[in-house]
Amino acid sequence: MTEPTLPKDEYAALHDEATACMAELASLERGCIVSAAIVFAWVATNSQSLVGFSGLVWAVPVAIAVLGSLKALAVGRHISALGRSLKELEVQVQGDGDRGARQFGRRWRARRWASAAAWLLFIGLTVIGSTLGYLQFRTECPGPLVNACGKDDGGDDNDQQEPSLKPGSLPSGTRWLAG
């Protein structure tokens, strides 16, 4: 008579693991959204100080979204495997007559499609936001990425800068004399 308790204990352990995985998935979703929002806010407020390859920082939120979705896919597959194991144990312990205990499978199926749609929407919005931010950066800083919008562009020779009058500095016309 000890056999029925073993599948029930296994069922409880699998159910607890599946519940923990669902909590991990929810935490991952929140973390990715918050971290992408933080990066977007930082880049938007510091966009004037970005020069050269720094404009590629607009790709960081996309990387967060893609890596988060891959992790969510892995957790989702693990939850699906746990769900199949739970279903087998339910049939073994309770038979086909009792359908009341099959709540986990229904909850996960409903959540899986909503989660997939939310991840696709999140990735799409992140790609659009990053693309728009990068395009704005490129319109403000045209030219090759290496020296775009550099502090010392040197591209405009018509600008005559006033010579520095600091002690020890030489006027621009006498630099060749200093050697």
Query: Rounded to the nearest 10 degrees, what angle do helices 60-94 and 5-45 cross at?
Result: 170
Report pLDDT for 111. Answer: 79
What is the pLDDT averaged over residues 134-163? 60
Residue (of 82, 35, 80, 81) closest to 61 by Cα position:
35
Q: What is the mean pLDDT of residues 128-147?
A: 77
Contact 90, 102 (CB under 8 A): yes
Hey, how many other C-beta atoms are within 10 angstroms of the C-beta on 174?
9
pLDDT of residue 168: 53
DSSP secondary structure code for residue 166 in this structure? S
Give 127's contacts (C-beta < 8 A, 6+ positions apart).
62, 65
Q: Which residue has the higher pLDDT, 113 or 92?
A: 113
Tokens of 110: 């409903």
Better-scored residue on pLDDT, 89 or 52: 89
- Mean pLDDT value of segment 16-29: 90
Q: Is the pLDDT of residue 69 over 60?
A: yes
Confidence of residue 142 (pLDDT cuts 50, 70, 90): low
pLDDT reading at 161 higher than 90: no
Whole-number pLDDT of residue 20: 92
Q: Answer with the residue of higher pLDDT: 48 or 95.
A: 48
Closest by CA to 130, choosing from 35, 71, 60, is 60
pLDDT, mean of residues 80-107: 70
Segment 8-32 shows an average pLDDT of 89
The residues, ordered by sequence, that sit 6+ positions from 176 with a Cβ below 8 Å of its Cβ are none
As a whole number, mean pLDDT of residues 93-107 equals 60
pLDDT band at 24 (very low <50, low <70, confident <90, very high): very high
Question: Whole-model pTM?
Answer: 0.68
pLDDT of residue 119: 92
